[in-house]
Structure 1
Amino acid sequence: MSSTRRQILARTGALGAGIAFTGALSDLFAGTAAAQETGHGGYGPLVPDPDGLLDLPEGFRYRVLSREGDPLRSGEGPVPSNHDGMAALPGRQGRVHLVRNHENRPTARHPVPTIEGLTYDPAGKGGCTALTLDARGRVLSERVAVAGTAVNCAGGPTPWHTWLTCEETEDRAGTNGYTKDHGFIFEVDPADPRRTGAVPLAAMGRFQHEAVAVDPHLGVVYETEDAFLEPFGLFYRFLPKKPLGGIGSLRAGGRLQAMRVPGVPDLSSILETGAVFDGVEWADVPDPLAAGTPTRLQDYGPRGITHAQKLEGCYWGGRCVYFVSSFARSADGSAADHFGQVWRYDPARRRLTLVVVFGPDTDVQLPGESPDNICLAAGGGLMVCEDGNGAQHVFGVTRHGEVYPMARGRQNIGTPAEPEWGEFAGVTFSPDGRTMYVNCYTPGTTFAVTGPWRR
């Protein structure tokens, strides 16, 4: 991510004032298993790790599943750099398929190895790798799942247990040495990557993708666009010709549309939690491939379209889709400043609601800026990956708004005099809820954390 909570606070003079939120945090769990929350206030203080990798509460333990630069178990090359978005998908006989993004740019130290049949553009350094774990959590295999893509940041799982990996770039062929256009979504089957190959889902649009969420009832796919500078991104939906058709069905095409909230050209202008907008409209994207003009700049008619800065996280809960604007700054061109919004869209009612707003207040412990790294926790509540300067944490947040530390990174990538720690990313839970998986972005490290989650 390009900016951090602490950096923003320092620039605005609010460092020490901290981050808090307004709104009903319990709204984020509507219709999900997290409504059965049993934990209260966390699991106690973090215990320093004698091995200097990951501090956890007493009773919890970790295993390192994979580290950047080590050999892939497939023998295809070294484990790639920049571990980012991730999902844990169920396999046969209790196995878990862990699919992991690598947000690699042309300068990546360890690119995703190019593999015949799994490579889109040989000049692309990003992609995904997949680990298969047995029922006891032991790594059975680790291999390339898709290669030759670029800046694979986030994505989302499908109801048929594949992963949609998103390129957070819109570089064209000829830029940065690329031989093909980038800015697409690719489907990845971690159980058998060759079933999906390296085929861009072109009808789903070419832009700076961040995350997706699939409506498990209708098959509509919602997509966020992470545009940091003006003109800001849009919130999209994709209406597939073959909804919920399983592996490969999204290749059949469909219609890409952008959200229009009548009378609201910029979502950052809305800062009152509980604000409701009925009659949300969807406008067809004139050119989803953005052959001449980026999708967010295309002509949507005299009524325009609705923009927002830093649209990132996206997930489905109950009968609604939730999406996040990580922050907005008027200095960048936004209508107002905030440190994070969470919006809920109800398709049946065509209703958009602002459920949570983060902003400077009094609680220095609350993870506030960039609340895109959201994962529903096993025992209820959320897990949030921190992205900032100084110490890096995974925080838990209960349905009642209590914040507690779950993990702290200990791998110093700076110097003894000026230490730095890599951010966390890709937090996710195993299908049975017994294991939390999380990445350290750099040095790329994938952890499996077990312990008394349902205490």
Structure 2
Amino acid sequence: MTELDRRSFLGRGLATTGGVLASGLAIETLSAHAAWAGAGRPAADPRESGYGPLRRMPARNTGEEYLALPAGFSYVVLSKSGTPMTDGVATPIAHDGMAAFPGTRRHTVRLIRNHEVRTTPGSPVGRVYVEGSRRYDELGVGGTTTLEVDLRSGAVLRHFVSLNGTIVNCAGGRMLYDRGWLTCEETTAGPTQGWQRKHGYIFAVPLDGPAPGSPAPSPPLTAMGRFSHEAVAVDPRTGYVYETEDQSGTPDGFYRFRPSDPRDLAKGGVLEMLKIRGVDGYDCREGQTMGARLPVEWVRIDDPDPDLENGATTCTGQGLAKGGAKFNRLEGCWYGDGSVFFNSTSGGDAKNGDPPNADGYLEGYGQVWQYVPGRRDGGTLVLVYESPGRKELDSPDNLTFTPRGGIVLCEDDASSADADPHPLAPGLTNVNRLIGLDPRRGQPFEFAVNIADECEFAGACFSPDGSVLFVNNFGDSVSLDPPGRTYAIRGPWHRGPL
């Protein structure tokens, strides 16, 4: 495939172009960390770097304490599960992956947010649902909501359902040319589990079109695969879409989709799984060396939409049977400076103590991988970060590159064996944080701590002008307790690495 029109790519606007340019610094950050760790330096206390010590603080608009942040930073709560939105629908539960786009008016930003609702078919509890709208599955409980936010005041101008009829919408990624959001279902459930339709797909939520009371009538993009999707990232030079997989307890694959028409993913294409060249079933989960360059080839998934209800082989099974590489809990995915970065939440040699997976693998504290596409070959895979233990980083989920070249990792501490308390969150056993990586020294540092509950952080993303970090507190996936929340954080970013 020839490269897409470069002029179109360079005209995508300040937000995306700035992110791509800044990502070169983020790559240096990851390289600095790999060198720092590879030199045998002891793990630094993440509370002693970055923007300095954190302190508990209340939200400016509610007066309640939800976060601990460095001095000089502040935050507001933009939305909370159960509160009414502009379209009259109650804000759904399970706030997950999210992206920020330029708003429809000056000084505004548009957020598109996933809801990983895991209730039973048709359940009204926290459901993403607009009566009378067109949707894929009438019993679907998940989907996306859209928020229009005034960056100056922090006020939510509009807040509405932008896609419904799906389930377990976990993460996703920005569409080519920032035309919208690709939302992913983290499940392969279907009629056998009580749903009207098969699930496990990617759906498009266009930036222009959905409005209060009129969610996008998006059909599934079946050629992109039916599996437990997590996140995606699009290479703007080729239009290829890279996809992560997160199925609990078994090996996962890293995929790419080569579309027939990059501007219209519904026209189909070819789905492939990453394989280490010349090695069948290479295990990326442990025993890896940071900075080592692994040559890549790609194996085709012959049946990207398997009829699992009648015994068809899964996409994962097809790829592994052809020698695809094994990962564990692939989650956040990000494109920048010619590379795709993705998290393996439970990869690594330092083990968290949980029981072994079905194939005997013992889970670790997390890895960050870099895939560098090749122009004449399959490309190169590099491990650029691996956590040595929970103090440094515990279970990275979503990730984002900041406009200034920093990196933010959202923790999702899913370990049941290794308690993870924090002095700023007394009474909580498994505390989740936002972890930054310092571009200067490569060291990790705490930027935020969830002091409200034990829920994960998700959906971290910056406003196009770089002034505000938006992030979700996931909440619960089957009830309103604890509720999901979306925060807007602002402060003196120039004083530190982010």
Hey, what does 1:423 align to over in structure 2?
Answer: 456
Q: Of 62, 85, 89, which residue of structure 2 is paired with 1:72? A: 85
Hey, what does 1:250 align to over in structure 2?
Answer: 265
How is 1:335-354 mapped onto 2 (pairs within 5 angstroms)? Answer: 338-348=364-374, 349-354=377-382
One-letter code aligned to 2:140:
G
How is 1:295-374 mapped onto 2 (pairs within 5 angstroms)? Answer: 295-298=315-318, 303-328=322-347, 331-332=356-357, 333=359, 338-348=364-374, 349-360=377-388, 365-367=391-393, 369-374=394-399
| SS of aligned partner of 1:373 | strand
Q: Is the Cα contact below 8 Å between 2:80 and 2:485 reproduced in 1? A: yes
Q: Is the Cα contact below 8 Å between 1:106 and 1:124 reproduced in 2? A: no
Deviations 1:166-225 (CA, angstroms, capped at 9, x unpaired): 0000012241x2100000000112442268522111111111001101001110001111
Shift in CA distance, 445/284, structure 1 to aligned 2, threshold 3 Å = same
The aligned length equals 406
Q: What is the deviation of 1:263?
A: 0.9
Hey, what does 2:292 align to over in structure 1?
Answer: 275
One-letter code aligned to 1:46:
L
One-letter code aligned to 1:267:
C
Hey, what does 2:220 align to over in structure 1?
Answer: 200
Q: Is the Cα contact below 8 Å between 1:378 and 1:454 reproduced in 2? A: no
Q: Is the Cα contact below 8 Å between 2:343 and 2:368 reproduced in 1? A: yes
One-letter code aligned to 1:391:
V
Q: Of 80, 93, 99, which residue of structure 2 is paired with 1:87? A: 99
Shift in CA distance, 336/103, structure 1 to aligned 2, threshold 3 Å = closer
Shift in CA distance, 82/366, structure 1 to aligned 2, threshold 3 Å = same
Which piece of structure 1 moves more, 188-197 or 282-291? 188-197
One-letter code aligned to 2:225:
G
Deviations 1:133-156 (CA, angstroms, capped at 9, x unpaired): 235243110000111211111111
2:390 is equivalent to residue 398 of structure 1 = no
Q: Of 132, 147, 165, which residue of structure 1 is paired with 2:183? A: 165
One-letter code aligned to 1:381:
G
Deviations 1:389-426 (CA, angstroms, capped at 9, x unpaired): 43332222212223332222232xxxxxxxx4322111
Shift in CA distance, 300/110, structure 1 to aligned 2, threshold 3 Å = closer
One-letter code aligned to 2:386:
F
Shift in CA distance, 66/275, structure 1 to aligned 2, threshold 3 Å = same
Hey, what does 1:123 align to over in structure 2?
Answer: 139
Shift in CA distance, 402/273, structure 1 to aligned 2, threshold 3 Å = closer
Hey, what does 2:55 align to over in structure 1?
Answer: 47
Distance 1:135 1:391 in 2: 29
Which piece of structure 1 moves more, 253-262 or 105-114? 105-114
Q: What is the deviation of 1:30?
A: 8.4
Distance 1:454 1:34 in 2: 15
Distance 2:279 2:473 in 1: 41
Hey, what does 2:488 align to over in structure 1?
Answer: 448
Shift in CA distance, 322/110, structure 1 to aligned 2, threshold 3 Å = same
Shift in CA distance, 185/321, structure 1 to aligned 2, threshold 3 Å = same
| Structure 1 alignment gaps of length 5 or more | 1-27, 412-419
TM-score of the two chains, using structure 2 as the length reference: 0.76
Q: What is the deviation of 1:334?
A: 5.5
Shift in CA distance, 49/335, structure 1 to aligned 2, threshold 3 Å = closer
Hey, what does 1:4 align to over in structure 2?
Answer: none
Shift in CA distance, 53/372, structure 1 to aligned 2, threshold 3 Å = closer
One-letter code aligned to 1:207:
F
Shift in CA distance, 30/449, structure 1 to aligned 2, threshold 3 Å = closer
One-letter code aligned to 1:260:
K
Q: What is the deviation of 1:441?
A: 0.8
Q: Is the Cα contact below 8 Å between 2:288 and 2:383 reproduced in 1? A: no
Distance 1:387 1:305 in 2: 26
Shift in CA distance, 225/390, structure 1 to aligned 2, threshold 3 Å = closer
Shift in CA distance, 263/257, structure 1 to aligned 2, threshold 3 Å = same
Q: What is the deviation of 1:320?
A: 1.5
Which piece of structure 1 moves more, 330-339 or 112-121? 330-339
Shift in CA distance, 430/345, structure 1 to aligned 2, threshold 3 Å = same
Q: What is the deviation of 1:159?
A: 3.1
One-letter code aligned to 2:24:
T
TM-score of the two chains, using structure 1 as the length reference: 0.82
Q: Is the Cα contact below 8 Å between 1:29 and 1:35 reproduced in 2? A: no
Q: Is the Cα contact below 8 Å between 1:439 and 1:446 reproduced in 2? A: yes
| Structure 2 alignment gaps of length 5 or more | 1-19, 30-47, 59-63, 414-428, 476-482
Shift in CA distance, 366/118, structure 1 to aligned 2, threshold 3 Å = farther
Distance 1:295 1:409 in 2: 36
Shift in CA distance, 165/299, structure 1 to aligned 2, threshold 3 Å = closer
How is 1:226-237 mapped onto 2 (pairs within 5 angstroms)? Answer: 226-230=246-250, 232-237=251-256
Distance 2:55 2:320 in 1: 54
Q: Is the Cα contact below 8 Å between 2:397 and 2:412 reproduced in 1? A: no
Hey, what does 2:232 align to over in structure 1?
Answer: 212
Q: Is the Cα contact below 8 Å between 2:279 and 2:323 reproduced in 1? A: no
Shift in CA distance, 221/115, structure 1 to aligned 2, threshold 3 Å = farther
Distance 1:317 1:299 in 2: 26
Hey, what does 2:4 align to over in structure 1?
Answer: none
Structure 1 vs Structure 2 CA RMSD: 2.6
Shift in CA distance, 69/271, structure 1 to aligned 2, threshold 3 Å = same
| SS of aligned partner of 2:105 | helix
Which piece of structure 1 moves more, 110-119 or 135-144? 110-119
One-letter code aligned to 1:168:
E
Q: What is the deviation of 1:293?
A: 1.9
Q: Is the Cα contact below 8 Å between 1:165 and 1:185 reproduced in 2? A: yes
Q: What is the deviation of 1:53?
A: 2.1
Hey, what does 1:383 align to over in structure 2?
Answer: 408
| SS of aligned partner of 2:176 | coil
How high is the sequence identity, in percent, across the aligned residues? Answer: 40
| SS of aligned partner of 1:171 | coil
Q: What is the deviation of 1:276?
A: 1.9
Shift in CA distance, 289/185, structure 1 to aligned 2, threshold 3 Å = same
Hey, what does 2:24 align to over in structure 1?
Answer: 32
One-letter code aligned to 1:89:
F
Q: Is the Cα contact below 8 Å between 1:381 and 1:398 reproduced in 2? A: yes
Q: Is the Cα contact below 8 Å between 2:245 and 2:253 reproduced in 1? A: yes
Q: Is the Cα contact below 8 Å between 1:267 and 1:308 reproduced in 2? A: yes
Hey, what does 2:35 align to over in structure 1?
Answer: none
Q: Of 240, 243, 252, which residue of structure 1 is paired with 2:259? A: 240
Distance 1:259 1:299 in 2: 8
Distance 1:299 1:97 in 2: 37
Deviations 1:358-397 (CA, angstroms, capped at 9, x unpaired): 2445xx6312x32232111343321122223433322222
